Structure 1
Amino acid sequence: MARNKQLVVQEARAALEQMKYEVAQELGIALPQDGYYGYMATRDTGSIGGQITKRLVQIAEQQLNGYRR
């Protein structure tokens, strides 16, 4: 399965990076300062990604609810 990691909205990159650090902090996971994630447990990186996805879905649902009113 090929993955396309190219963002549709390039300006969202900074917001996604900030969200990654916020979620990691909330979960008590220290992100490496050098940017190399090879020493992190797959479980930790998966938790960060899952929480980011959950938060993005919540934001989208809130926005859709605002349009329906």
Structure 2
Amino acid sequence: MSRNNRTLIPQARHGLDKFKVEVASELGINDYESIDKGNLTSRENGSVGGEMVKRMIADYESKL
């Protein structure tokens, strides 16, 4: 299975990275931007991405 992690709007990359660090911090994963993600469990890494998606969907739905 091939994954494509490119950002559709390149100008949004900085905002997404900042959002990722904020979510990780709220989940108790400190220094997320500077740690080796390979040292985190799949659950920890997945929790960050999952929470990001959950919040983006909630934000979108609140604007409908």
Q: After TM superposition, is the score higher than 0.5?
A: yes
Quick one: distance in 1 between partners of 2:36 and 2:25?
17
Post-superposition offset of 1:32: 5.5
Quick one: distance in 1 between partners of 2:27 and 2:36?
19
Matched residue count: 63
Tell me the residue number matched to 2:17. 17
Quick one: distance in 1 between partners of 2:58 and 2:33?
27
Identity of paired residues, percent? 37
Q: Kindly name which structure, 1 or 2, has the bigger radius of gyration based on alpha carbons.
A: 1
Q: What are the residue-to-residue correspondences of 1:55-66 with 2, within 5 Å? A: 55-63=55-63, 65=64
Amino acid at match of 2:2: A
Work out whether 1:27 is the aligned partner of 2:46.
no
**SS where residue 45 of structure 1 aligns?**
helix
Q: Runs in 1 of length 4+ with deviation above 2 angstroms?
A: none
Give the alignment's TM-score, normalised by structure 2. 0.85
